[in-house]
């Protein structure tokens, strides 16, 4: 009988040592063919750990995040539906009163399939007039609508909004209270070993060079609010008549350190 491998348990110091060894390896092939999560999966394989399971004595407080350098893609931080909770706001208000025909309506979905897909931020309004508003007095993150800001391309849609809801501010406005957000983000954004990699493709095979390692500790809600104000965190709505894919808070690449009070550069 083969002896079972002894499970790996890392201390902070031994994990840092192993990550430094991985950085010194240079370019390594993607361990998962065709997998978008290849950077994280390959790093887990190199560390000899199971997916999303960092084997440390206080593992409940730590996680491992790996991202590609110089990417424009957004990373989902967490899902959270807006208040007021008495109303299922996205499907019952935004989709019904502000939605538009789904591009696949009558094809893979029924003819009357509607869509409400918007990725919005706090620095300017979207082409359909939506914006994130941070109200520090009321301690709320709100979603605002301004009909005057709607792009001319959407004039027919705006006419339909006028009939369904009127061309006024959302009433009530969907929002997230600071306390609820602080709790949600604080339970999702644990202390993190943050690893970034360069990426190249040779003969249709991806390779990674892990080059940057940071240790991020103590979630900062003030840092979270500042990231929202600076357009580093966006709110993403993705609903259609048949399914609400959930409202997400998503972050631009390279901005994760903004969310932590203590940042330690390892490499």
Question: Do 93 and 119 touch, CB atoms closer than 8 A?
Answer: no
Q: Specify the pLDDT at position 86.
A: 75
Whole-number Cα distances in Å, 43 to 32, 48, 144, 193: 11, 9, 41, 12
Q: What is the DSSP annotation of 148-217? A: GG--GGGHHHHHHHHHHT-SS--SSPPEEEHHHHHHHHHHHS-EEEEEEEEEEEETTEEEEEEEEEEEEE
Q: Specify the pLDDT at position 37.
A: 66
Q: Specify the pLDDT at position 35.
A: 54
Which residues sit opposite 182 in a β-bridge?
A: none
Beta-carbon count within 10 A of 17 CB = 11
Q: Specify the pLDDT at position 247.
A: 97
List per-block mean pLDDT (blocks of 10 residues) for the chain, which spans 267 residues.
68 94 96 75 92 78 90 92 90 96 95 97 98 98 98 98 97 96 94 94 92 96 98 97 96 94 95
Q: Specify the pLDDT at position 5.
A: 62
Q: Specify the pLDDT at position 87.
A: 84
Q: Specify the pLDDT at position 107.
A: 94
Q: Specify the pLDDT at position 61.
A: 84
Q: Match 């082409």 to its residue by tokens.
A: 127
Q: Specify the pLDDT at position 59.
A: 64
Q: Specify the pLDDT at position 53.
A: 82
φ, ψ of residue 37 to 5 degrees: the values are -85, 20
Q: Specify the pLDDT at position 8.
A: 84
Tell me which residue of 113, 106, 59 sits closest to 240, measured CA to CA. 113
């Amino acid at each position: 009988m083969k002896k079972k491998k002894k499970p790996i348990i890392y201390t902070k110091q031994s994990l840092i040592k192993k990550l430094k060894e991985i950085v010194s390896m240079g370019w390594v092939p993607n361990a998962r063919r065709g997998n978008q999560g290849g950077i994280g999966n390959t790093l887990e394989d190199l560390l000899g750990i199971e997916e999303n399971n960092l084997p440390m004595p206080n593992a409940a407080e730590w996680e491992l995040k790996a991202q590609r350098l110089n990417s424009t893609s957004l990373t989902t931080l967490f899902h959270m539906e807006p208040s007021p909770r008495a109303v299922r706001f996205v499907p019952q208000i935004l989709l019904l009163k502000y939605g538009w025909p789904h591009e696949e309506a009558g094809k893979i979905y029924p003819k009357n399939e509607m869509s409400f897909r918007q990725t919005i931020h706090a620095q300017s309004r979207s082409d359909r007039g939506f914006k994130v508003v941070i109200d520090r007095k009321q301690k709320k993150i709100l979603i605002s609508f301004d009909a005057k800001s709607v792009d001319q391309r959407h004039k027919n849609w705006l006419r339909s909004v006028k009939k369904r809801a009127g061309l006024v501010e959302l009433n009530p406005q969907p929002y997230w209270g600071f306390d609820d957000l602080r709790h949600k983000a604080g339970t999702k954004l644990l202390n993190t070993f943050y690893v970034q990699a360069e990426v190249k493709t040779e003969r249709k095979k991806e390779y990674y060079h892990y080059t940057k390692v940071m240790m991020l500790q103590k979630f900062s809600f003030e840092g979270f609010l500042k990231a929202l104000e600076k357009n580093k965190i966006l709110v993403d709505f993705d609903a259609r008549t048949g399914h609400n894919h959930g409202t997400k808070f998503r972050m631009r690449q390279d901005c994760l350190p903004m969310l932590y009070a203590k940042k330690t550069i390892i490499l």
